[in-house]
A and B are shown apart, each in its own frame.
Chain A
């Protein structure tokens, strides 16, 4: 079979997690890059190890966990859900009640992370199981509205349950990502404070171009979340190719036909909701813990939409696509901001792209063409508003031009070069 890597003579080769040599090689390369990234050791891209970028990358990784879960529900099982933010909130609030400090106005048991983190996922999964029967009865777009309703009911609950969620405008502090044996004990491993991760990992002097005395908390959080993303990514990939995932796909494609063939519809949908919500709850708890303090208003519809968009832009039903989509969606605001500031400096320094800045950036009250304003208030879109608008435009353009998402683009590019110089 040498020289013909795509010729599979056994079924299990084709069903392998990473069936081709190219995939295995690129996976190893990606792994090395991912390890070097937080150490500021990437050639040319060393700046990604700075605190500002690390915070964004960590956020993207946490979003990736939630998006992987939603992908199982929407992309594989075909159940439209706009309620992902609700399940994430359930996880986050379970975490804060179990792991947070109790106060005069809030509940908290102060338990260690190895209890509150899994419990966050399990609690969300239980709520998911409770919701699942609705999905058996209510179908398609109607289900989208039920899950949309969950977001609003949830927000009402969090606003009013001050003992769990804290004040409506202040929220409450979340427990840190620290691994201790029991409450009150010193943490064995802390992902939330600067310092050595383990005695053998710092200081780093075994790479010729890197000198690191101690590791930042962002880098430590990064490694922890990256580990979870890899584990849950593999679980998702594995689910898709085994009995459970194939039964979901059958329900997605033709539910009645699936039932006729012996796939239990109610069971499949319940599993899908439970597992997807587990991912969501876990991601919600980690996100809240890393951010530190979240107000009840944050678990809103826009938050839910972000995850649906990640799944659709990335490519529904694929793990690699969802990971691409997550980084794309999370990084875009930062890129837009950088680009706007770059244009502004082009204008002030009369650079080669000053004309573009003159057109886009609003310079005077009579400048009707310039739609972007550098001030937060007043006429003209602020950078935040510009991001929301671009996000909307992105959804529209992607769904019209490339319904398969980033994954579809990747497949096209790959196939082009595979057959090069022939068109097919």
Chain B
């Protein structure tokens, strides 16, 4: 089924070119959607704009690289298991560690700021981003660290339609995450989370431990950020985690805003829109000389500005109720 991509020299018919671009756009959108989901869950529950999302994504990807390729945890105690299983276990362990880190971050830096202006808390997360990113860069020695994922650069080919295996995995994982989250919001804890998102004081009056909800939201958020970081640092998006991995968050922010800061549905839709728009722009406008180099990278931001001018709270965001 799969083979190594060398270079695509075959000229494609317009339809084929479009569909291939669409496929990898959806896959990129899935990565953005994972990042956006984590961001939105944190924002909904705690009203905190998490600028440290990129740092968390890079740290998560680095942990996978460390567990899977350097120390082989937990595979070293498992005896003879397949590479895929071994890698998946390492990745899951990394996600668990990231969830723990998320909880710790919330406890130390966000909890004392309850009741402070939103902007001040946002600045705290910017400070966190600097700390996490620099430390992560130092941990990975400022160089590229391969994640050792079992799929590598293999692709699946159905007729003319080619898509990397990691891209399929990314889309499947997004679907899984979506399903799990939908289930989770129906549970008791999920209900508490939704109630807190609606009104913190009322939730507290109902006996919900708002502090616990904050911790859970940050745990989930950090783990989802790490998931996005993992898929953005495997082929075909990158050859491993490096100092530029954290910047993926600055490309996911437009997706979050387009969907609306506080909408789960918006996070997925916005992520997919931005992913597809970015890849399509790269495919069709990449050769247009007057647009310059790297136009695909600013397309999400331009799209975001246009959407915000038409709908100031994004596509699915709740308009802020303004009182005199």
A138 & B309 in contact (Cβ 8 Å cutoff): yes
Q: How far is the CB of A266 from chain B (nearest CB, A)?
A: 14
A399 & B124 in contact (Cβ 8 Å cutoff): yes
Does A400 sit within 8 A of B, measured CB to CB?
Answer: yes
Does B80 sit within 8 A of A, measured CB to CB?
Answer: no
A153 & B324 in contact (Cβ 8 Å cutoff): no
Does B213 sit within 8 A of A, measured CB to CB?
Answer: no
* Cβ proximity bits A380-410 to B, threshold 8 Å, 1 near / 0 not: 1100010011011111100110010000000
A209 vs B117: C-alpha distance when bound (angstroms): 51
Does B79 sit within 8 A of A, measured CB to CB?
Answer: no
User: A381: which B residues are within 8 A, CB to CB?
Assistant: 134-135, 138
Does B142 sit within 8 A of A, measured CB to CB?
Answer: yes
Interface centre among A153, A391, A396 (most CB of B within 10 A): A396
A259 vs B95: C-alpha distance when bound (angstroms): 49
Closest to A148 in B: B253
3 closest A-B pairs by beta carbon, nearest first, are A395-B127, A160-B292, A392-B130
Q: Which of A9-17, A304-312, A344-352 contacts the other chain? A: A304-312
Does B188 sit within 8 A of A, measured CB to CB?
Answer: no
Closest to A161 in B: B292
Q: A156-B292, A377-B142, A381-B134 are in contact. Are A142 and B313 (CB under 8 A)?
A: yes
Does B21 sit within 8 A of A, measured CB to CB?
Answer: no
Tell me which of B128, B130, B141, B322 contacts A388 (CB under 8 A). B130
User: A389: which B residues are within 8 A, CB to CB?
Assistant: 130-131, 134-135
A144 & B119 in contact (Cβ 8 Å cutoff): yes
B280-308 interface (Cβ within 8 A of A)? 292-295, 297-298, 301-302, 304-305, 308
User: A256: which B residues are within 8 A, CB to CB?
Assistant: 322-324
Q: Which residues of B contact A (CB under 8 A)?
A: 49, 109, 112-113, 116, 118-124, 126-131, 134-135, 137-138, 141-142, 250, 253-254, 257, 261, 292-295, 297-298, 301-302, 304-305, 308-309, 312-314, 320, 322-324
B118 & A396 in contact (Cβ 8 Å cutoff): no
Instruction: Report whether over half of chain A's contact residues are helix, strand or loop; otherwise say mixed.
Output: helix
B320 & A159 in contact (Cβ 8 Å cutoff): no
A145 & B257 in contact (Cβ 8 Å cutoff): yes
B305 & A159 in contact (Cβ 8 Å cutoff): no
B129 & A141 in contact (Cβ 8 Å cutoff): no
Q: A138-B308, A140-B118, A145-B253 are in contact. Are A254 and B134 (CB under 8 A)?
A: no
Closest to A378 in B: B141
Tell me which of B49, B124, B142, B257 contacts A396 (CB under 8 A). B124
Closest to A401 in B: B112
Q: A138-B312, A400-B113 are in contact. Are A145 and B119 (CB under 8 A)?
A: no
Closest to B297 in A: A156
A139 & B120 in contact (Cβ 8 Å cutoff): no
B294 & A159 in contact (Cβ 8 Å cutoff): yes
User: B49: which A residues are within 8 A, CB to CB?
Assistant: 141, 144
